[in-house]
Structure 1
Amino acid sequence: MELSQRARIRAGDRACFGAVFDEHAPAVYRYAVRVTADRAGAEDVVSLTFLEAWRLRARLRPDGGSLLPWLYGIATNVLRNTARSARRHQAALSRMPAADRVPDFADDLVGRLADADALAAARAALSRLRPAERDVFTLCVWEGLDYAAAAEALGVPVGTVRSRLSRARTRLRAYTNGREPAGRTGQVQGGRADAARSTREIG
């Protein structure tokens, strides 16, 4: 009997893993760009995600459907780690003496992209969410995962995904209306259609 894709990856089949990379790397890259607003940095996130996936292949569940939720979960952890490293790096730079400023032509080029301002604005709004809420929002709304797939990616119950997404929508609406959210909110009725409307509000 032919082995499943998951079984082949668990067994260390490099050709099969290469096919998984070809299929899912664009989605992981898109996710990383939306979270970081940095295309070059997103390429590094993709590389690190698949290196980590190969390292952790023995932990992959032998049963299940698409591998994308598993990869999104790894990418989420990579993004958290790289964000922490970036903060430490920035803190170290802030302690150094000021140097003469040199024009950054890369920044100028990025600034010409049609969606750069919208992406930066969305990321600024999302950065005000709690990390757990931000992870759920980006996976369910931007990447289109359903509650079950997002729960698999993040290793939490489906009910937790629903409540975090509800709180994220409430907070984002408050931020985009120019006010601070009034503490933690309870679960709000509604699904991904409401969440998508929140995305348009910040996009």
Structure 2
Amino acid sequence: MTEQRQDLTDQALWHEVAVGDRASFAEVFDRHAGAVYGHLLRRMGDHGEAEDLTSAVFLAAWRRRGELRIDRDSVLPWLLGTANRTLANRRRALKRYRALVARAPAPPDIPDHADEVAARLDAERRAEALRRSVGRLPRHEREVVELCVWGGLDQQAAAVALGVALGTVKARMHRARRRLGTLVPEELEKDR
């Protein structure tokens, strides 16, 4: 800033700003940005917010440069008044935002599917172990298990399907259950 420019009052500078002189506006900014920032910092206590609002105040001054009338040779009163209004607007907006968030419905409880998935995987592992175990049974016992357990037939219907006596089906089923009692745990151990 030259000596001559420093001697200019805010009112003289603002006449130049009003017609779009950016250099004059930069001089006004240099003169008063610290005071505006300090004012906002004391009111808010947050450096970042004070910087943001200081920028907003000077943006408003530039936008309204043709309307602004300076009283008593200083633009600072207008800038501080604009800072107060800008801060009030920011606080109102924050209050509206918080009220909106408070009214917003809570997100739905999202169940944890991990237990369900783990149970399903465990069931699939046990079913595969059972299938392999049934596959290791002698053919005549495997057929009874397949017809009665997997096919849903009762023992009498299985006897008819196999062409054997009901007692034979009962004996084969008994032996198959006993063998599966040892085969299934063996197959499950193989999976670990």
Question: Normalising to structure 1: TM-score of the pair?
Answer: 0.44
Structure showing greater radius of gyration is: 2
Question: Normalising to structure 2: TM-score of the pair?
Answer: 0.46
Relative to total residues, which structure has the larger helix share, 1 or 2?
Answer: 2
Which has the higher relative contact order, 1 or 2, with Cα contacts under 8 A spaced 6 or more apart? 1
